[in-house]
Amino acid sequence: MDRYGMQNQIACIRRSLFDQGYLDEQFIQLEELQDDANPNFVQEIVTLFYTDSTRLIQNIELTLTSRPTNFSKLDDYMHQFKGSSSSIGAKKVTSECAVFRQYCAAGNAEACIRSFQHIKQEHAILRKKLEFYFQMMGQAAVAQTT
């Protein structure tokens, strides 16, 4: 694919991430912060998010298996998770986290477990999409220099 074709494809991928509700305007804020001093800022923050949230997922999983359910601890973890996901503009992940917290507040362990499955799904889907997006951008950058 030629250079322009690539740029078009990347623009389409990016737009669909917003149109389909995976990302919100916070992601644009990150893009606007990217500059010559930090040319990979967006990718760095996203990578940080995935490292951090993977750890949180493990902690939540563990907490969900212990009885009696420690809702306070779950809410703490989810508060962190939701905070981080909203910081990168991960719209669907963030709203699933909000749902989880509601079930947590209601003391509904079953619903929490179901909600957590949704969170993990959205988390994984977004990861794949963003990885693909960054990969395409990387290829385009190489194409521009050749």
Partner 1 sequence: MVMAASETKFHVLAVDDTLIDRKLIEKLLKTSSYQVTAVDSGTKALEFLGLNNNDHHDVEVNLIITDYCMPGMTGYDLLRKIKESSSFKDIPVVTMSSDNIPSRINRCLEDGAEEFFLKPVQLSDVNKLRPHLMKRRTQTNVNKRKSMDEIVSPDRARARYNELEVK
The interface region with partner 1, picked from 7-15, 29-37, 57-65, 133-141 by CB under 8 A, is 29-37
Query: Taking a C-beta distance cutoff of 8 angstroms, is the pair 10, 81 a contact?
Result: no
Instruction: Please give the single-letter amino acid code of residue 24.
Output: D
Integer Cα distance of 42 and 74 in angstroms: 28
- Decide: is 36 part of the binding site for partner 1 (CB under 8 A): no
Which residue's CB is nearer to partner 1, number 4 or number 37? Answer: 37
Residue 76 beta carbon to partner 1: minimum distance, rounded to whole angstroms: 9
Q: Which is nearer to partner 1, 6 or 42 (CB)?
A: 42
DSSP string, 55-107: HHHHHHHHHHHSSS--HHHHHHHHHHHHHHHHHTTBHHHHHHHHHHHHHHHTT
CA distance 38 to 63: 37
- What number of CA atoms fall less than 13 Å from residue 61's CA on the CB side? 9
For partner 1, which is the closer residue by CB, 52 or 131? 52
The verdict on 83 binding partner 1 (CB under 8 A) reads yes
Size of the site for partner 1 (CB under 8 A): 23
Interacting span for partner 1 (CB under 8 A) from 25-33, 67-75, 103-111, 115-123: 25-33
Please name the amino acid found at residue 100: F
- Binding stretches for partner 1 (CB under 8 A): 26, 29-30, 32-33, 35, 37-38, 41, 44-45, 48-49, 52, 79-80, 82-84, 86-89
